[in-house]
């Protein structure tokens, strides 16, 4: 039996519904759903994603039976519209649009007005009684078809248009009359024949097949691929194609087209929020070429359609129980809905919409928690412009996406990517952005456009990326050739000059401004509380300083999961003593140098313990190889030798003798603590003395002493015995009892594989997934740049394993470690302190294998709290 590849939607029956997103794509499913809800939608049909997948897996051959089904549904559509494809009198015109499972705005191709040719043009003139409109539609169709389907460069069409406009001395397209447009149509047809060596295909069915083909193929155009990489969308999903009867927003001043959000997508405010253009086609709004009108002003010219729109948007939001992004067209006063989809929103909007929908009774708290993507929350944790900062605003645009950006001005996406790859911070300034700019937008700190509205390409994409963006900033005049922009003819800003953007106000500022760290307040705090109510996995932070510890605590961290002590060794006042220790020839000399460091380390720990009063603090004893503390160039060695009053030879010799082929696999971690026990002894002493003293001062100190790089249980038993000895000794001296734990990192495969043995000696485990990933893959993070990007791009690794835990490999080893560890010590406390601890999919995995906590950088704590809640809710759902 042949599969059903084509699904109809229209007054005579609708095959699909809103739940069939995987098959029909988001757009197709929602068109079917709206039709079912009785909302006015131009009828049409959807060609399934399965057809697309089969097309690609079968070497770009269409599956059998598809064209028969297409013919059948085309006939149904013709019947529904009372019009016929290619018919002179009453021609059927259609749009052909892509529609993947998830929205990929502007990434794939669209063809409008398909069905037009020299014959049906006559019909359109007759039906519309508007030759200008008909020719305009025809020239638009020729442009799109020529570009999208036939692959002719867009600017060749633009050049023809500009030439005609120049000749008749008009500035905008709207000013062109029917005759000029007729001429343009003729010129376009010639252009196509010249470019392709064959005439423009007049047969509408041939047009349709070619257009469907083009849409399928656009799934694999470069910008779509880039978008999928950025957004982690699998290549295998494919896109559906929607063929829908055309309605026209450009049939005169009783016609219009627009897009709207049921709430403000930037702030989340519960207010209908949209823009429209009178007498225009939908693409004009999205492309940002004409700056559109605010939706409220539609009430006056078209009160009926406006009222209908109000009714429908509420119906849609109530139906979907989520903020919707809708497209509509008003054809001669009659409203048609062309699309509804889940509205993309900034993190701030996501939080506000979620919280307010709970307050409105639309959704429950858990749904609200799930409505905000943990990764997206990152936006709210980025620096904002200091509210107290004084700055000079040089221009103001529309606040399309909040946040702040400070960077050097660049005028092309390529330049943005180039500079960003060299570590520069840039702000991308464009007339308007187009889908080709996606890479540059991603690389930039923020985006500023001179044209376009709140729903323009730049605005939509920037909000999706959580990037600060100001659009429609008409104050600036961009000179793309000279790489500069001017303000009121006076101020000139060149490429490389620094500007700042305030995405929340639309302010463009010359020079850098002071940024401040955000805090958890209002709706965000409320949502976090709800998240905490369902979350079961603990959230700690990696913090090495009292300041970081305070930030972490303010963001809701429940302890410190990793306090690295090597950073303390580098501090100005003690690096010299550290180097003395390294240069020491005897244990006694080493101990002498360490004795100088002891009081400083103790002070470090005292301060951190104070901030974390009542919460556990996991302190990792010294981990990096000693050569990291020594200089390496001849000049540095000479300078230091003088400072230390040793001979440069001695210093150089030490540097040489400590040099390692593979320092990652070298003399570090507990290997140091075992060969130079006095180092760990000093650190244990500093921790225990600090803890004992603070305990006496009334603080509640919960130290967890962590031994790094254990591969064999004996390494732990030897080092731990020393820790215990010192702890007992100091507690006896001070006459207090600190309830401390002694445990280990699990960061080597062997540690995970022998976790049962190690658990006998460890009161806690903490997975060091950075090193574990390096050893499981045999992959040095420092050296991976030569091939890892290639690997990720070509799908050799499904995802960069340093970003998200590789569950198949590294994760498998973690599961072994958890299982073996708990088999011996059922109450073993297990956490993770690699950088994966702040990455949502990794947090979900950690939850699923039963870790007690994740530990991440302080600024990712709220993300982790939310991700932890998602994990709990999703697992509950799965278990339920």
Positions marked active-site: 457, 833
750 binds its own copies (CB under 8 A): yes
300 binds its own copies (CB under 8 A): no
Work out which of 671, 825, 829, 836 binds its own copies, going by CB under 8 A: 671
Q: Which is nearer to its own copies, 580 or 771 (CB)?
A: 771
Can you tell me the distance from the alpha carbon of 634 to that of 560, in angstroms, rounded to the nearest whole number? 39
Work out which of 177, 333, 663, 677 binds its own copies, going by CB under 8 A: 663
Work out which of 432, 704, 747, 835 binds its own copies, going by CB under 8 A: 747
- Write down the least CB distance from residue 750 to its own copies, Å: 4
Which one of the spans 83-91, 355-363, 512-520, 742-750 is the region binding its own copies (CB under 8 A)? Answer: 742-750
Work out which of 109, 322, 623, 715 binds its own copies, going by CB under 8 A: 715
Q: Which is nearer to its own copies, 105 or 809 (CB)?
A: 809
Q: Which is nearer to its own copies, 358 or 772 (CB)?
A: 772
DSSP per-residue letters across 86-105:
T-SSSB--EEEEEEESS--T
Which one of the spans 163-171, 202-210, 319-327, 782-790 is the region binding its own copies (CB under 8 A)? Answer: 782-790
Cα dihedral: 692, 698, 699, 703 (round 10): 20
Buried residues in 320-347 as b, exposed as e (16+ CB within 10 A) = bebbbbbbbbbbeeebbbbbbbebbbbb
Phi-psi region of 403 (alpha: psi -120 to 50; beta: other; left: phi over 0): left
- Write down the least CB distance from residue 709 to its own copies, Å: 7
- Write down the least CB distance from residue 745 to its own copies, Å: 11
**Nearby residues of 133 by Cβ (< 8 Å), 6 or more positions away:** 124, 248, 250, 251, 252
629 binds its own copies (CB under 8 A): no
Helix (H), strand (E), coil (C) string for 677-688: HHHHHHHHHHHH
Q: By rule CB under 8 A, what count of residues binds its own copies? A: 47
570 binds its own copies (CB under 8 A): no
CB 128 within 8 A of CB 279: no
796 binds its own copies (CB under 8 A): yes
56 binds its own copies (CB under 8 A): no
Q: Could you tell me which of 582, 584, 561 has the C-alpha nearest to residue 570?
A: 582
Q: Which is nearer to its own copies, 251 or 621 (CB)?
A: 621
Q: Which is nearer to its own copies, 152 or 709 (CB)?
A: 709
Which one of the spans 83-91, 584-592, 630-638, 711-719 is the region binding its own copies (CB under 8 A)? Answer: 711-719
Instruction: Give the HSE-up count for residue 342: Cα atoms under 13 Å, Cβ half-sphere.
Output: 20
CB 342 within 8 A of CB 322: yes
> Which residues make beta-bridge pairs with 243?
45, 96
- Write down the least CB distance from residue 809 to its own copies, Å: 4
Work out which of 483, 712, 734, 819 binds its own copies, going by CB under 8 A: 712
CB 548 within 8 A of CB 858: yes
Which one of the spans 287-295, 392-400, 546-554, 789-797 is the region binding its own copies (CB under 8 A)? Answer: 789-797
- Write down the least CB distance from residue 564 to its own copies, Å: 18
**Nearby residues of 96 by Cβ (< 8 Å), 6 or more positions away:** 110, 111, 114, 208, 211, 212, 215, 241, 242, 243
Which one of the spans 341-349, 488-496, 594-602, 746-754 is the region binding its own copies (CB under 8 A)? Answer: 746-754
Q: Which is nearer to its own copies, 33 or 747 (CB)?
A: 747
Work out which of 777, 803, 822, 874 binds its own copies, going by CB under 8 A: 777
57 binds its own copies (CB under 8 A): no
Work out which of 242, 401, 565, 757 binds its own copies, going by CB under 8 A: 757
656 binds its own copies (CB under 8 A): no
- Write down the least CB distance from residue 788 to its own copies, Å: 9
778 binds its own copies (CB under 8 A): yes
- Please give the angle made by the CA atoms of 241, 243 and 244, to the nearest 5 degrees: 140
709 binds its own copies (CB under 8 A): yes
**Nearby residues of 550 by Cβ (< 8 Å), 6 or more positions away:** 611
Q: Which 798-857 positions form the footprint of its own copies (CB under 8 A)?
A: 806, 808-810, 812-813
674 binds its own copies (CB under 8 A): yes
CB 502 within 8 A of CB 405: no
Work out which of 77, 730, 748, 830 binds its own copies, going by CB under 8 A: 748
Residues in contact with its own copies, shown as a per-residue x/- string from 162 to 201 under the rule CB under 8 A: ----------------------------------------
790 binds its own copies (CB under 8 A): yes
Q: Which is nearer to its own copies, 52 or 746 (CB)?
A: 746
677 binds its own copies (CB under 8 A): no
Helix (H), strand (E), coil (C) string for 797-844: CCCCCCCCCCHHHHHHHHHHHHHHHHHHCCCCEEEECCHHHHCHHHHH
**Nearby residues of 302 by Cβ (< 8 Å), 6 or more positions away:** 254, 256, 330, 333
Q: Which is nearer to its own copies, 426 or 758 (CB)?
A: 758
* Backbone dihedral angles phi then psi of residue 500, each to the nearest 5 degrees: -125, 150
Work out which of 480, 634, 649, 783 binds its own copies, going by CB under 8 A: 783
Can you tell me the distance from the alpha carbon of 665 to that of 833, in angstroms, rounded to the nearest whole number? 19
Write the CA distances from 120 to 85, 89, 111, 130, 396, integer angstroms: 9, 7, 17, 14, 47
* Backbone dihedral angles phi then psi of residue 17, each to the nearest 5 degrees: -160, 175
How many CB atoms are located within 10 Å of the residue 865 CB? 29
- Write down the least CB distance from residue 269 to its own copies, Å: 47
30 binds its own copies (CB under 8 A): no
Signed CA dihedral, 835, 837, 843, 848: sign only = positive
DSSP per-residue letters across 71-90:
HHHHHHHHHHHT-BTT-SSS
Q: Could you tell me which of 361, 392, 391, 356 has the C-alpha nearest to residue 372?
A: 356
Which one of the spans 8-16, 408-416, 567-575, 773-781 is the region binding its own copies (CB under 8 A)? Answer: 773-781
281 binds its own copies (CB under 8 A): no
- Write down the least CB distance from residue 769 to its own copies, Å: 13
CB 475 within 8 A of CB 487: yes
661 binds its own copies (CB under 8 A): yes
CB 763 within 8 A of CB 742: yes
787 binds its own copies (CB under 8 A): yes
Q: Which is nearer to its own copies, 398 or 745 (CB)?
A: 745
CB 653 within 8 A of CB 630: no
Matching residue, tokens 């313990």: 609
776 binds its own copies (CB under 8 A): yes
- Write down the least CB distance from residue 656 to its own copies, Å: 13
In sequence order, which ranges of 735-785 are alpha helices (DSSP H)? 749-753, 755-759, 769-777
Looking at residue 388, the DSSP 8-state letter turns out to be T
542 binds its own copies (CB under 8 A): no
Interface residues toward its own copies, by CB under 8 A: 660-667, 671, 674-675, 709, 711-712, 714-715, 718, 747-750, 753-754, 757, 771, 774-780, 782-783, 786-787, 790-791, 795-797, 806, 808-810, 812-813
């Amino acid at each position: 039996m042949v599969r059903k590849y084509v699904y109809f939607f229209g007054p005579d029956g609708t095959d699909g519904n809103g739940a069939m997103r995987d098959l029909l794509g988001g757009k197709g499913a929602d068109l079917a759903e709206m039709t079912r809800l009785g909302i006015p939608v131009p009828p049409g049909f959807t060609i399934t994603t399965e057809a697309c997948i089969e097309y690609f897996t079968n070497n770009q051959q269409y599956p059998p039976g598809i064209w028969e089904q297409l013919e059948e549904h085309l006939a149904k559509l013709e019947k529904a519209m009372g019009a016929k494809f290619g018919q002179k009198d009453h021609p059927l015109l259609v749009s052909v649009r892509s529609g993947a499972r998830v929205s990929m705005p502007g990434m794939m191709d669209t063809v409008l007005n398909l069905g037009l040719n020299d014959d049906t043009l006559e019909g359109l003139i007759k039906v519309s009684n508007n030759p200008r409109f008909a020719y305009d539609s025809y020239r638009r169709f020729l442009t799109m078809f020529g570009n999208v389907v036939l692959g002719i460069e867009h600017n060749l069409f633009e050049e023809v248009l500009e030439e005609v406009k120049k000749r008749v001395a008009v500035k905008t397209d709207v000013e062109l009359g029917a005759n000029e447009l007729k001429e343009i149509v003729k010129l376009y047809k010639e252009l196509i024949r010249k470019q392709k060596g064959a005439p423009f295909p007049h047969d509408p069915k041939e047009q349709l097949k070619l257009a469907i083909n083009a849409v399928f193929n656009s799934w694999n155009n470069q910008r779509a691929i880039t978008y999928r990489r950025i957004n982690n969308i699998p290549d295998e999903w494919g896109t559906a194609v929607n063929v829908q009867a055309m309605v026209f927003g450009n049939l005169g001043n009783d016609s219009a087209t627009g897009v709207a959000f049921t709430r403000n997508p930037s702030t989340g405010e519960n207010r209908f929020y949209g823009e429209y253009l009178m007498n225009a086609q939908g693409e004009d709004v999205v492309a940002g070429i004409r700056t559109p009108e605010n939706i409220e002003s539609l009430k006056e010219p078209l009160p009926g359609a406006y009222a209908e729109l109000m009714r429908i948007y509420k119906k849609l939001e109530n139906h979907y129980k989520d903020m919707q992004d809708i497209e509509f067209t008003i054809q001669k006063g009659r409203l048609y809905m062309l699309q509804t989809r889940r509205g993309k929103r900034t993190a701030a909007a996501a939080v506000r919409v979620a919280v307010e929908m709970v307050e409105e009774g639309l959704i429950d708290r858990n749904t609200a928690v799930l409505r905000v993507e943990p990764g997206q929350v990152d936006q709210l944790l980025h620096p904002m412009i200091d509210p107290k900062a004084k700055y000079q605003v040089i221009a103001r645009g529309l606040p399309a996406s909040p946040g702040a950006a400070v960077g050097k001005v660049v005028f092309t996406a390529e330049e943005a990517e180039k500079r960003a790859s060299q570590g520069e911070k840039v702000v991308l300034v464009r007339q308007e952005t187009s889908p080709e700019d996606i890479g540059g937008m991603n690389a930039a700190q923020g985006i500023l456009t001179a044209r376009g509205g709140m729903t323009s390409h730049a605005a939509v994409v920037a909000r999706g990326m959580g990037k600060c963006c100001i659009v429609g900033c008409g104050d600036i005049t961009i000179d793309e050739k000279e790489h500069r922009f001017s303000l009121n003819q006076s101020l000139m800003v060149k490429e490389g000059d620094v500007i700042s953007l305030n995405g929340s106000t639309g302010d463009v500022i010359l020079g850098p401004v002071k940024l401040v760290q955000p805090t958890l307040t209002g709706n965000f705090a409320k949502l976090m509380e709800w998240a905490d109510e369902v979350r079961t996995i603990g959230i700690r932070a990696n913090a090495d300083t009292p300041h970081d510890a305070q930030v972490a605590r303010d963001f809701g961290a429940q302890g410190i999961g990793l306090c690295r002590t090597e950073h303390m060794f580098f501090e100005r006042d003690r690096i010299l003593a550290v180097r003395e220790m390294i240069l020491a020839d005897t244990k006694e000399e080493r101990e002498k140098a360490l004795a100088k460091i002891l009081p400083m380390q103790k002070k470090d720990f005292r301060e951190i313990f104070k901030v974390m009063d009542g919460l556990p603090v996991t302190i990792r004893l010294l981990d990096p190889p000693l050569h990291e503390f020594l200089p390496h160039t001849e000049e540095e060695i000479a300078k230091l030798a003088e400072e230390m009053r040793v001979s440069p030879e001695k210093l150089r010799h030490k540097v040489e003798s400590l040099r390692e082929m593979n320092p990652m696999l070298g003399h570090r971690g507990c290997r140091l603590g075992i060969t130079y026990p006095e180092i760990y002894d000093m650190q244990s002493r500093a921790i225990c003395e600090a803890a004992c003293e603070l305990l006496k001062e009334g603080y509640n100190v919960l130290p967890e002493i962590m031994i790094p790089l254990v591969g064999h249980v004996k390494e732990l038993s030897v080092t731990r015995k020393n820790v215990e000895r010192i702890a007992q000794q100091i507690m006896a001296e001070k006459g207090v009892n600190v309830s401390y734990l002694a445990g280990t990192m699990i960061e080597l495969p062997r540690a995970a594989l022998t976790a049962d043995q190690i658990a006998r000696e460890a009161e806690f485990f903490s997975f060091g997934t950075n090193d574990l990933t390096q050893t499981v893959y045999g992959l040095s993070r420092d050296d991976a740049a030569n091939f890892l990007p290639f690997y990720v791009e070509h799908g050799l690794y499904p995802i960069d394993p340093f970003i998200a835990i590789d569950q198949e490999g590294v994760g498998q080893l973690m599961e072994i470690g958890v299982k073996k560890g708990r088999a011996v010590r059922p109450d073993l406390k297990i956490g993770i302190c690699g950088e994966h601890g702040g990455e949502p999919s990794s947090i979900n995995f950690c939850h699923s294998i039963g870790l007690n906590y994740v530990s991440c950088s302080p600024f990712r704590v709220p993300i982790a709290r939310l991700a932890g809640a998602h994990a709990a809710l999703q697992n509950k759902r799965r278990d339920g």
